[in-house]
C-alpha cells in the first residue's frame, strides 16, 4: 500500500547471494582488480568524473549534481532557481535517458535524477565521451524540457 499511490514507485534489485557461479565470478573479478591495480588507478578518473559533473551545474534544467567516486546523479528540474521538479507523470528522467542513448550511452533514471555509474575500468577518454553524450542529450531535450516545465507551471498555478 505504501507504493500504490500516484507517483510512488518501489525500486528494487536482486542479488546472487549464495549462487556458486556468481561467487566464482566475483572472486575472479577481485583477482583482476588486484592484478591490474584497478583501485590504485581511480584517482585521475574520479577527478575527471567530478570535473565533468560540476560543469553540468551551469546547464539549463540541471538543478544539482551529486557524486561520490564514480557514482553520480544529475537532477533534472523544471526551474533551476527554485529547483521546482517536473511532474512525476511527465517521466522526464526517462525521456532524457532515451535522448542520451541516441548518442551511444546507456544511463538510467531514478525519477528525474539521471544515474551515472560507469565501470571502474573506464578510461579518461570514455569519461569525456560519456559526459559529451549527456550534454548532447540534454540539448536535444531542450524544447521538451521547456514545454514540460511550462506545463507544470500551469498545473501548479
**Residues 61, 80 contacting (CB under 8 angstroms):** yes
Domain ranges of the chain: 41-156
Q: What is the CA radius of gyration of the chain?
A: 18
What is the C-alpha end-to-end distance of the chain, expressed in Å?
30
Confidence of residue 7 (pLDDT cuts 50, 70, 90): low
Confidence of residue 147 (pLDDT cuts 50, 70, 90): confident
Cell reading at 121: 575500468
φ, ψ dihedrals at 147, nearest 5°:
-65, -45
| pLDDT tens-place string over residues 51-105 | 999 999 988 899 999 999 999 999 999 989 899 999 888 999 999 999 999 999 9
pLDDT in the model for residue 10: 64
- Between 10 and 155, residue with greater pLDDT: 10
Question: To the nearest 10°, the Cα dihedral for 72, 75, 76, 81?
Answer: -140
pTM given for the model: 0.81
Return the ∠ at Cα 154 (arms to 149 and 157), rounded to 5°.
120
- Between 16 and 19, residue with greater pLDDT: 19
Q: Which residues pair with 79 in a beta bridge?
A: 84
Cα atoms in the 13 Å half-sphere on the side-chain side of 27: 7
Query: Of 55, 60, 58, whose CA–CA distance to 116 is shortest?
Result: 55
pLDDT in the model for residue 60: 87
Is the CATH code 3.90.1150.10 the one for domain 41-156? yes
Amino acid at each position: 500500500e505504501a507504493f500504490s499511490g500516484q507517483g510512488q514507485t518501489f525500486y528494487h534489485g536482486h542479488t546472487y547471494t549464495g549462487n556458486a557461479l556468481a561467487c566464482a565470478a566475483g572472486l575472479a573479478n577481485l583477482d583482476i582488480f588486484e592484478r591490474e591495480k584497478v583501485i590504485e588507478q581511480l584517482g585521475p578518473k574520479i577527478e575527471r568524473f567530478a570535473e565533468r559533473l560540476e560543469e553540468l551545474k551551469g546547464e539549463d534544467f540541471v538543478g544539482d549534481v551529486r557524486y561520490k567516486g564514480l557514482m553520480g546523479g544529475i537532477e533534472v528540474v523544471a526551474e533551476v532557481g527554485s529547483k521546482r521538479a517536473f511532474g512525476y507523470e511527465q517521466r522526464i528522467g526517462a525521456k532524457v535517458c532515451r535522448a542520451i542513448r541516441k548518442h551511444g550511452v546507456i544511463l538510467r533514471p531514478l525519477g528525474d535524477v539521471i544515474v551515472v555509474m560507469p565501470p571502474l575500468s573506464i578510461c579518461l577518454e570514455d569519461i569525456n565521451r560519456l559526459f559529451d553524450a549527456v550534454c548532447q542529450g540534454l540539448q536535444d531535450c531542450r524544447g521538451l524540457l521547456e514545454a514540460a516545465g511550462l506545463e507544470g507551471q500551469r498545473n501548479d498555478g
